[in-house]
Amino acid sequence: MKAHDGIYLDGAWRPALSGEVIDVVDPVDEQVIARVPAAGAEDVDAAVRAARAALPGWAATAPAERAARLSALRDALAARKDEIAETVTAELGAPLAFSQAVHAAVPIAVAGSYADLAARHAFEEKVGNSTVFHEPVGVVAAITPWNYPLHQVVAKVAPALAAGCTVVLKPAEDTPLVAQLFAEVVHDAGVPAGVFNLVTGLGPVAGQALAEHPGVDLVSFTGSTAVGRTIAATAGAAVKKVALELGGKSANVILPSADLAKAVNVGVANVMSNSGQTCSAWTRMLVHRDQYDEAVELARTAAAKYGDRIGPLVNAKQQARVRGYIEKGVAEGARLVAGGAEPPRERGYFVSPTVFADVTPEMTIAQEEIFGPVLSVLRYEDEEDALRIANGTVYGLAGAVWAGDEAEAVAFARRMDTGQVDINGGRFNPLAPFGGYKQSGVGRELGAHGLAEYLQTKSLQF
């Protein structure tokens, strides 16, 4: 695993003009494992100019040829899947098996899905006496988070390239190494120079410069709602298109007819996966009062199994944030039934798998996104009460409903103010649109809906 000491600009690795660097730290042992450039505004400007110059040629490239480049990209990712998993494990701290199954495998599937969509999408259609063309938006600024550091990159870059857009990627400063590996893969796949550019850097410097740049037509950002607001305000002032995938506080609603043990066990696994660093995690488990005590006991037992099986959080700041939320939960009267604020190890940014019972809807831990391995179990009186609690946050990203009868679960899910709901443990679908209601975001990623974000329409009347 090597780090580049440059940024990927116009088809080549070049020194950053800023001269600044970022230390990449292994969250397991807190050791510096690499250094990458901390690009500044001049570097961002050079990358945007390269993307701008490459845009006319790439936009005019036949969709079949764009599809061929994306197929080559998927194949190049697949050929390096072990290296991808090892890189994510080193910089994010995810257990290697999870990195292989999720952090490496999912982006390969998503890249493949866009190779297919690029070949099949109708980039022009007849509507009465008009012909409607679906044209690329232009230069895309992709600003990605650290929690799924390759998936989030591919979920933006692949549809942008399929649409005929050019891209400047600014990955999270905690996980730049897999983004550099991705740039190598793009190069090897034969994507023309300038179509994809990578600037590693700090959010408030490189990210801000990218969001503000007049040469950028669309800002696609995944991260916190607080930063999303800033980016939306910046883009809005320039009347620039934005796609925002932000926070979540998703409800896992277990109706009385459900298989309680399965629903609780899958629910706990969902929250502990990726050490709880998942925007769509079902961090609120809603259980009927008659089954509540049994569910809490099941959750306590399930959480105990994850003690040594989850990785650390990404950095010291995140560890302190999550510990602070656990302390606040205790202070506000929630009952700790598993885990707690004390770190389970002396070294590394670890937090114990934690379960709170007797959580009420207005508590901080039931309202705010914690982004760690912390589950709140809430009691409800009847279905209307469950719905009120489920919809009672500013977020609306994901959720789950469990019931003995699928139709019963679907009826409840249709009333939830959320962008994606899993029914009785439904599997992840890389073709289904992903995105939120309310303060969880604007726009959708993945599948045909994700491609549409990077297209604009022109109609010709005859």
DSSP 458: E
Q: Which residues are catalytic?
A: 245, 279
* CA atoms lying within 13 Å on the CB side of residue 407: 0
Record the tokens describing residue 350, joined without a space: 């670890």
**Phi-psi group of 239: left, alpha or beta (phi > 0 → left; psi -120 to 50 → alpha; rest → beta):** left
* CA atoms lying within 13 Å on the CB side of residue 276: 27
Is there a contact between 194 and 53 (Cβ–Cβ < 8 Å)?
A: yes
Return the H-helix or E-strand segment holding 107.
Answer: helix 105-120
Dihedral sign for Cα atoms in the order 276, 286, 266, 156: negative
DSSP 62: -
- Axis-axis angle for helices 177-188, 151-163 (nearest 10): 30
43 Cβ neighbours under 8 A, 6+ residues apart:
7, 9, 16, 17, 18, 37, 199, 201, 206
What is the spatial distance between Cα 233 and Cα 227, in angstroms, rounded to a whole number? 10
Q: Which amino acid belongs to residue 339?
A: G
* Burial class, 343, CB count within 10 angstroms (exposed 0-12 / middle 13-18 / buried 19+): middle
